[in-house]
Amino acid sequence: MSEELYKVAVDYASRAHAPYSKYLVGAAVKTKCGKIFGGCNVENASYGGTICAERTAILKAVSEGFKEFDEILVYTDSDEPWPPCAICQQTMAEFMTVTTKVHLANKDGVKKEMQYGHINPFPFRL
């Protein structure tokens, strides 16, 4: 696991805009060429407008021209580290492969390491 990804995700969690859920999430993606992009959840008073940390990080990378990823780390200060939500998993399907590493972390460090194909083996595709 990349120590650097963990630090970036922790840092971005502190930037979360989460006045409604108070659930602060940070994510960090590493591109194939080694660049790291971080993101946080950005909530909206119209709840459906909320963007998760994973999508913020991925969309930042894609909008800067980076579409291929080796790893993603998701950090939140909960006892149980949960996998990315289904909407984020579908966004991940667009830019990640079955072997892309997914690290789930909390304050105690990385708690679960898996591959994208394990959490979403059958994504929607056109």
Catalytic site residues? 54
We find the least distance from the C-beta atom of residue 25 to ligand THU, in angstroms, to be 3
Q: b or e along 61-77 (b: 16 or more beta carbons within 10 Å of the residue's beta carbon)?
A: bbeeebeebbbbbbbbe
Closest to ligand THU by CB, 78 or 99: 78
H helices of the chain, where? Answer: 3-13, 53-63, 86-95, 116-119
Contact assessment for residue 31 and residue 69, using Cβ atoms and an 8 Å cutoff: yes
Closest to ligand THU by CB, 33 or 45: 45
Closest CA relative to residue 88, chosen from 30, 47, 27: 27
Closest to ligand THU by CB, 34 or 52: 52
We find the least distance from the C-beta atom of residue 35 to ligand THU, in angstroms, to be 21
Closest to ligand THU by CB, 34 or 88: 88
Point out which residues bind ligand THU (CB under 6 A): 18, 21, 23, 25, 41, 43, 50, 52-54, 84-85, 88
Task: Determine the straight-line distance between the first and last CA of the chain, rounded to whole angstroms.
Answer: 32
Amino acid sitting at position 37: F
We find the least distance from the C-beta atom of residue 33 to ligand THU, in angstroms, to be 25
We find the least distance from the C-beta atom of residue 34 to ligand THU, in angstroms, to be 24
